[in-house]
Structure 1
Amino acid sequence: MKLKRIGFFLLSLLFIFTTMPMVSSAAKLSLRVEINGERIYFPDEEPNVDKAQRVQVPVRFVSEALGAKVGWNSGTKTVTVELGTDKVVLVLDQKTYDVNGEQKRMDTAAARVGGRVFVPLRFVSEGLGASVKWDSAVSTVYISTSGFVDVREKPKDDQKDQVVEESINGFKVKYNTGSNLGISPGSRIEKGRAFLILSIRFAMEGSDYNMQVQEVEDILKQKVEEKTVNEIMKYVKTKTKEEQELKMKTFTDKNYEINVGSNINSNIVLNLYMK
């Protein structure tokens, strides 16, 4: 199935931007990638942000590792990426590129870095299809092959005027409470996979910071050890204004790993993992 092929491909062609056009130049945390809730590690050349503020990824290493067909013509400096019937063609240092025979133009270009060919994957994604979120607070790209659902942003039509409780991977959450806490389900609970993402929002109209903080604490206390929850909340509460920075920090108990961080002018994001 095409969806499965895209899933395999996206595990290799990693940093794709479809929901946010550029990566914040203020990002100070290390770039991270998660595919369907699973964090991806790079043993070789790391992704980088180019002068146009686009994320570039070493195309051959990541794609060939998991099944995508990648071609390179040194004479014409052309890289070709094929997945099923989809084909994307880019030329080094050129802003025009081709998707399934159609000429397109981007604001950056593929480049050679450290002996490897890097491609701007937002534009590659346009020819392949994917659901992608960029969270500047923790410098992380979240990629899903089945789409994203934010239960707080999209209540059902018959639930818009009432608080609704749902279970996300065993954690009970409430949405439509008026706090504007961001809650996104990750993947299933499994080692190495983020299964729940919480975002304390500052800029969204009507956001109640104190209420969001309390809701985060209530959610964590359901399964995370109390001592760890107390440490997390103490750290979270050190940022009370959007302009403050909260450097990435990891908290653990015997079962869970929780990463907490926020850049300047960004939300506070907590990613929950199974150890």
Structure 2
Amino acid sequence: MKFSNMKKTIGVLACFISALAWVPGAASAAVELPLRVEYQGKPLDFPDAKPFMDKAQRVQVPVRFVSEALGADVKWAPESKTVTIRLKNNEITLVIGQTLYNVNGEAKQMDTSARRINGRTFVPIRFVSEGLGAYTKWDGAVRTAYISDTAFDPKQEKEPGGNKVVEENMHGFIVKHNTGSQLFIDKGTNEPETPVLSLLISFPEMRGADYKMQVKEVEEILQQKVDKKTVEAIMQHIQKKTNWREELEGKVFKDSNYVISVGSNTSDPIAVQVYETKNYIVE
């Protein structure tokens, strides 16, 4: 059984948190799952240009997608390489490659700069969001940048949105955010060799996660579109690892429509990746 396509799939995506890849007859190597951005508790979609961490350890995001999520207007001046973002009474101006920027007429300094990559303008999310009056927070454990219209409660462990559970349709799978379980959920591109859905089951030792609740949520997600017997086999395999120090053998499960890969290194979360059969390629 080959798992090398798993590594290739994840390699297509940009900026990931620690996850798993498997190769035949060898120990699995550490890889990463996507760097994410959430606004008001809901993940933002970046269809053709992914966020990344720059050398200054700042999260850079495609300005158009983030601005649309916030309801801001964006103007690009190619001659001066200047991007201007307006939201309500706030305006921020950045010049590609320059650390000086302007917020409502006031010059400010940052330790990074906006970028222009493959025709897309990337901006440092913290400086832009806060310049527009929003609040930002970074969770390195899951490599996720959170944006909120209101200040974050330092005592609050849940993601933005408070106790409100937010539902999202990910290629036909209805998933829930802000449940408190700490299940990591990422929407894939559903392109050849890439999953429609990636899930990470963490352990309490990692980030105070609720292992049993995450397992139940994974089961409920899979039951929506995956054959019942296949789901049962997957869950039996997942529950073989009950401690973060254990290793879970990488396995692939199939029904008529989906291929699901499951596995975990020692000291790693359990990775569950769901592919449409047509997009799962075994070398």
TM bucket normalised to smaller: 0.5 to 0.7
Which one of the candidate residues 44, 67, 85 is aligned to 1:81? 85
Q: CA deviation at 1:114?
A: 0.5
Q: What SS class does the counterpart of residue 128 from structure 2 fall into?
A: helix
For 1:209 and 1:51, the matched residues in 2 are separated by 29
Task: Give the corresponding residue for 2:165.
Answer: 188
Q: 1:24 to 1:231 in 2, by over 3 A?
A: closer
Task: Give the corresponding residue for 1:15.
Answer: none
For 1:238 and 1:24, the matched residues in 2 are separated by 16
For 1:251 and 1:186, the matched residues in 2 are separated by 27
The amino acid across from 1:39 in the alignment is: P
Which one of the candidate residues 259, 268, 271 is aligned to 1:246? 268
Counterpart contact for 1:47–1:55, Cα < 8 Å: yes
Q: 1:87 to 1:62 in 2, by over 3 A?
A: same
Counterpart contact for 1:27–1:139, Cα < 8 Å: no
Q: What SS class does the counterpart of residue 191 from structure 1 fall into?
A: strand
Counterpart contact for 2:63–2:121, Cα < 8 Å: yes
Q: Does 1:101 align with 2:92?
A: no
For 1:148 and 1:234, the matched residues in 2 are separated by 37
Q: CA deviation at 1:92?
A: 0.9
Task: Give the corresponding residue for 2:243.
Answer: 237
Task: Give the corresponding residue for 1:47.
Answer: 51
Unaligned runs of 5+ in 2: 1-15, 19-29, 170-175, 184-203, 221-231, 247-265, 275-283
| Matched positions, count | 190
Percent identical across equivalent pairs?
43
Counterpart contact for 2:129–2:135, Cα < 8 Å: no
Task: Give the corresponding residue for 2:37.
Answer: 33
Q: CA deviation at 1:246?
A: 1.8
For 2:60 and 2:121, the matched residues in 1 are separated by 9
Structure 2 counterparts to residues 3-22 of structure 1, below 5 A? none
Task: Give the corresponding residue for 1:127.
Answer: 131
Unaligned runs of 5+ in 1: 1-22, 155-181, 201-207, 253-275
Q: CA deviation at 1:235?
A: 4.1
Task: Give the corresponding residue for 2:212.
Answer: 217
For 1:216 and 1:139, the matched residues in 2 are separated by 19
For 1:65 and 1:99, the matched residues in 2 are separated by 20
Task: Give the corresponding residue for 2:7.
Answer: none
For 1:114 and 1:223, the matched residues in 2 are separated by 36
Q: CA deviation at 1:198?
A: 4.0
TM-score by length of 2: 0.53
For 2:69 and 2:135, the matched residues in 1 are separated by 22
Counterpart contact for 2:36–2:145, Cα < 8 Å: yes
TM-score by length of 1: 0.54
